[in-house]
Amino acid sequence: MTTEVTPPPTSASPTARQVWSRARGIVLALVLLIAAAVAIAVVRSDTRHGELDPRSADPYGSRAVAELLADRGVDTRVVTTLDQATAAAGPDTTLLVAVPDLLTGPQQSRLHSAVTGSGGRTVLVSAGSASVERLVPGVTADPATSLDSTLSPGCDLPAARRAGTADLGGIRYTTHLTADECYPSERLATLLRIPDPSGGDSDGDTVLLGAPDILLNNRLDEHGNASLALQLLGSRPHLVWYLPSLADASAASEEGERGFFDLLPSGWLWGTLQLFVAAALAALWRARRLGPLVPEKLPVAIRASETAEGRARLYRKANARDRAAGALRSATRTRLAPLVGVPVSQAHAPEALLPALSARLQGDGQSPHTLLFGPPPGDDAALIQLADHLDALEREVRRP
């Protein structure tokens, strides 16, 4: 006597352990990505804190040059608003603008009007194309920056000749004005000194520095950086160090409130368009037709019961009772057709199968039409009941 062992029921939904096994790689990658982002942010915040700030002793600060200027009797005052910067312009003052590109167009025009004819010196550090054309009309910033960082003077400017080689590089400038063009990189100057265009007896001038390296704490003692910085910033007894701030009220009052697209860098539209084109090409590449399917023998034999059980789990997971019922009815019709003398090719035609089937049935059971061609069941219980009725119908037809 043999005892049939019923296998334990299996659940179609994955367990917590299975979910973790599948997702742990993605979770680990996200954790590493977040940790790397935090580490980079911490490092950058530590090293770049107070960049070009004469009060900062960080590597990228400028406290060292301010201390050396103080030893030579030059006092340094830090300002953060345009009103303070324009009010300080005068013949005995050097006005240094740390990041001119942060100024709005109206701010740049106002600053240019204030320093023109003031008789003082204006030093613009890393002024790009967004600011140089307004602050120094007649000068153009070349879009290609210098690949060299240590350059020779290459001009007759006394301060440059005494300093010798220095770390300039960065932005390169061209001009048709009368100017001292120093520290050339591929024949374009990275330091320009332009006399005051108002003429007269004014000794004012504007100095353009392509890079801030000669003012930084960690580069001041290299080459002739200290000599050049002290000569350019120490020609007058007062130095006003202007650090433009995004919180300056003059930016909003003169230009109005800036929208979201105004804050995006130039070229964002073309960049976004290129991304869409790349995504479309990738979709076309991945969606290309690979031709008809080719049957291939399985490397191992799989029992029919396992295949049926796997397909049943998929149907149950997708709540596909209509497809499950259709598969049961189709298989039953295929098996019944030869038993009642109907060709298999017509097994799924009600007008061919049902008359022959009715002749073999006895009793008042459920209608064969409803069983074999009826609507899909509404729930799992109805699906199980349909399977039982189909088995009973097939047994009755097979009964001798």
pLDDT tens-place string over residues 143-152: 888 887 889 9
pTM summary value: 0.55
State how far the alpha carbon of 318 is from the alpha carbons of 306, 313, 314, 322, in Å: 18, 9, 6, 11
Rounded to an integer, what distance in angstroms lies between the CA atom of residue 65 and that of residue 220?
7
Looking up tokens 């930084």 gives 216
Write down the pLDDT at residue 97: 92
Window from 56-70, 281-295, 362-376 with minimum mean pLDDT: 281-295
Rounded to an integer, what distance in angstroms lies between the CA atom of residue 317 and that of residue 12?
6
Q: Residues 85, 108: contact at Cβ < 8 Å?
A: no
Q: How does DSSP classify residue 214? A: G
Write down the pLDDT at residue 337: 87
E-strand stretches of the chain: 75-79, 93-97, 121-125, 139-141, 150-151, 166-167, 173-175, 180-185, 188-195, 205-209, 238-242
Is the pLDDT assigned to residue 6 strictly greater than 60?
no
| 329-337 long-range contacts, CB within 8 A, separation 24+ | 329/371, 329/372, 329/373, 329/390, 332/372, 332/390, 332/393, 332/394, 333/372, 335/394, 336/372, 336/393, 336/394, 336/397
DSSP labels for 228-262?
HHHHHH-SSSEEEEE---TT-HHHHHHH----HHH
Handedness of CA 187, 188, 189, 190 (dihedral sign): negative
Q: Each residue of 196-244: pLDDT tens digit?
A: 877 655 678 999 999 999 999 988 888 889 999 999 998 899 999 999 8
Rounded to an integer, what distance in angstroms lies between the CA atom of residue 4 and that of residue 133?
92
Rounded to an integer, what distance in angstroms lies between the CA atom of residue 26 and that of residue 20?
10
Looking up tokens 């800036």 gives 258
Q: Residues 340, 352: contact at Cβ < 8 Å?
A: no
Q: What is the mean pLDDT of the chain?
A: 83
Window from 26-35, 46-55, 59-68, 268-277 with minimum mean pLDDT: 46-55
CA–chain centroid gap for 266, Å, is: 16
Percent of the chain past pLDDT 90, that is, above it, reads 20
Q: Report the chain's terminal Cα–Cα distance, integer Å.
A: 29
Rounded to an integer, what distance in angstroms lies between the CA atom of residue 309 and that of residue 380?
16
Mean of the pLDDT values across residues 162-176?
90
DSSP labels for 156-195?
--HHHHHH-SEE--SS-EEESSS-EEEEEETTEEEEEEEE
Is the pLDDT assigned to residue 9 strictly greater than 50?
no
Give the other-Cβ count within 10 Å of 238's Cβ: 15
Q: 3-class SS at 332?
A: helix
Q: Each residue of 311-360: pLDDT tens digit?
A: 888 888 888 888 888 888 999 899 988 888 889 888 888 888 888 888 88
Rounded to an integer, what distance in angstroms lies between the CA atom of residue 190 and that of residue 260?
34
Write down the pLDDT at residue 11: 46
Window from 23-32, 89-98, 169-178 with minimum mean pLDDT: 23-32
Tell me, what amino acid is at 156?
Answer: D
Write down the pLDDT at residue 1: 40
Residue among 329, 112, 123 nearest 229 (CA): 123
Dmax over CA atoms of the chain, in Å, equals: 128
Write down the pLDDT at residue 269: 80
pLDDT band at 4 (very low <50, low <70, confident <90, very high): very low
Mean of the pLDDT values across residues 23-30?
82
Q: Residues 111, 251: contact at Cβ < 8 Å?
A: no
Residue among 206, 229, 240 nearest 96 (CA): 240
Q: Residues 347, 334: contact at Cβ < 8 Å?
A: yes
- Dig out the tokens for 85 from the structure: 């910067």
Q: Residues 230, 239: contact at Cβ < 8 Å?
A: no
